[in-house]
């Protein structure tokens, strides 16, 4: 069953949602609405003013749609496994217009904290309202600030209980030191058994690569890739987390049903080589 936007929240009421979310978040939600069945994402994108896809190269759109399908599947699976193990606190860092709290059927006692900057953090709740699955709290935080995690506790997070953190398509937008601090501070809040799931990019220097094209398209909407990693171990070492699962998009994708839409862009070896990973204390 997927979440249906309440009938009283038509496009006009959505447009009245006061703030305007981060443009890369809108783009990601647009792509997600093409990658999986996600009516809530469609509503959020409409409320944010939509996305003109013709601005971006077709090959890139196809590739990103497939990348988002892969990372969504990986992280959805992480969430559901963690909740089955008893985790009742989920923190989505750089949450953008992530619809997981409206999409994934977690029990009512699960609290999800949607963490993003001003203008983006509360947007989804404002547009979509409460979820039939679990409780949602929006937290306005700039994760490049030291001690950003204190705001989570102020917002009700219990640091003595298990937490699942998710950083999806966030870390590349941070400097290397800010990205490390995200892992470091997350490791400090939550009981043993807490988890930190993240995606991170691999540096690609080929100017003809899809990655360069992605970087350019992202910069056109005001986003900037600020850091990259060659292997997640170098990122996670010394932060307090231990890698437990490491997948490249390629390896994880090969385990999914092949939807066969446009595999050419994927198989030409020019992919951005994003990594989907999970780690726990
Ligand atoms: C590409 S979007 C990804 C959104 C979402 N995780 C997804 O996968 O759909 C990147 C998100 O990171 C957020 N972000 C970037 N820098 C941030 C910061 N310093 N503090 C908090 N959020 C930040 C942006 O506002 C945006 O919502």
User: Is 13 among the domain residues?
Assistant: no
Residue of the nearest CA to atom 23 in ligand 1? Answer: 94
Would 18 be classed as within a structural domain?
Answer: no
Domains identified in the chain, total number: 1
What is the three-class DSSP state of 113?
A: strand
The reply to whether ligand 1 has any atom less than 6 angstroms from the CB of 151 is no
Q: Measured from the CB, is residue 158 less than 6 Å from ligand 1?
A: no
State in Å: Cα 278 to ligand 1 middle.
18
Pocket flag, ligand 1, residue 170 (CB < 6 Å): yes
Which residues lie below 8 Å from residue 120, measured CB to CB, with a gap of 6+?
Answer: 19, 21, 22, 25, 95, 96, 97
Asked if 164 and 87 count as a contact pair (C-beta separation under 8 A), the reply is yes
Best residue for ligand 1 mutational test, from 33, 170, 186 (most atoms within 8 Å of Cβ): 170
3-state secondary structure at position 195? strand
Bridge partners, 90 (sequence order): 112, 164
Q: pLDDT tens for residues 169-216? A: 999 999 999 999 999 999 999 999 999 999 998 766 666 677 788 888
Q: Which residue's CA is the nearest one to ligand 1's atom 27?
A: 96
Instruction: Give the CATH number, domain containing residue 253.
Output: 3.40.50.150
CB of 22 shorter than 6 A to ligand 1: yes
Per-residue pLDDT averaged across 146-175, rounded? 97
Report if residue 2 sits inside a domain: no
pLDDT in tens, 57-106: 888 888 889 889 999 999 999 999 999 999 999 999 999 999 999 999 99
Q: Is the pLDDT of residue 18 over 60?
A: no
Is residue 233 situated within a structural domain?
A: yes
Q: Is residue 17 part of a domain?
A: no
Q: Which atom of ligand 1 is nearest to the CA of 96?
A: 27
Half-sphere exposure in the Cβ direction for 158 (13 Å, CA)? 10
| 95-147 pLDDT, tens digit each | 999 999 999 999 999 999 999 999 999 999 999 999 999 999 999 999 999 99
Distance CA(228)–CA(192), nearest Å, equals 28
Residue 8, pLDDT score: 52
pLDDT of residue 261: 56
User: How many other C-beta atoms lie within 10 A of the C-beta of residue 140?
Assistant: 15
Pocket flag, ligand 1, residue 195 (CB < 6 Å) = no
Question: What separation in Å is there between the alpha carbon of 94 and the centre of ligand 1?
Answer: 3
Q: Verify whether ligand 1 is closer than 6 Å to residue 94 (CB atom).
A: yes
38 CB near ligand 1 (under 6 Å): no
Test site for ligand 1: of 20, 25, 123, 178, most ligand atoms within 8 A of the Cβ: 25
Residue 134 lies in a domain: yes
If one counts every other C-beta atom within 10 angstroms of the C-beta of residue 247, the result is: 20
Q: Which atom of ligand 1 is nearest to the CA of 28?
A: 9
Residues 227-269 have pLDDT tens digits of 988 888 889 999 999 999 988 888 888 888 876 655 545 544 4
Q: Given this model, what pLDDT does residue 4 score?
A: 56
Domain contains 6: no
Kindly provide the residue ranges of all beta strands, DSSP E only, lying in 62-174, ordered along the sequence.
89-93, 111-116, 135-140, 164-167
pLDDT of residue 268: 47
Q: What is the pLDDT of residue 173?
A: 95
The answer to whether residue 132 sits within a structural domain is yes
Domain that holds residue 208: 23-280
């Amino acid at each position: 069953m997927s979440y249906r936007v309440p009938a009283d929240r038509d496009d006009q009421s959505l447009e009245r949602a006061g703030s305007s979310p981060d443009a890369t978040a809108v783009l990601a939600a647009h792509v997600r609405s093409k990658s999986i069945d996600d009516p809530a994402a469609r509503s959020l994108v409409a409320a944010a003013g939509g996305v003109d896809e013709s601005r971006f190269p077709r090959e890139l759109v196809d590739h990103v749609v497939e990348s988002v399908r892969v990372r969504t599947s990986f992280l959805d699976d992480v969430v559901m496994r963690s909740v089955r193990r008893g985790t009742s606190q989920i923190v989505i860092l750089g949450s953008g217009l992530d619809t997981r709290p409206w999409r994934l059927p977690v029990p009512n006692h699960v609290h999800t904290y949607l963490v993003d900057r001003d203008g983006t953090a509360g947007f989804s709740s404002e547009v979509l309202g409460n979820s039939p699955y679990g409780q949602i709290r929006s937290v306005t935080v700039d994760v490049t600030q030291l001690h950003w995690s204190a705001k989570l506790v102020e917002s009700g997070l219990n640091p003595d209980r298990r937490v699942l953190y998710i950083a999806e398509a966030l870390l590349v937008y941070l400097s290397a030191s800010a990205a490390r601090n995200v892992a470091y501070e997350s490791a400090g809040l939550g009981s043993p058994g807490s988890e930190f799931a993240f995606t991170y990019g691999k540096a690609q220097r080929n100017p003809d690569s899809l990655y360069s094209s992605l970087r350019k398209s992202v910069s056109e909407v005001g986003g900037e890739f600020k850091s990259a990693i060659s292997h997640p171990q170098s990122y996670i070492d010394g932060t307090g987390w231990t890698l437990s699962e490491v997948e490249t998009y390629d390896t994880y994708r090969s385990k999914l049903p092949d939807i066969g839409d446009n595999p050419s862009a994927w198989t030409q070896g020019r992919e951005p080589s994003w990594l989907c990973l999970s780690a726990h204390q």
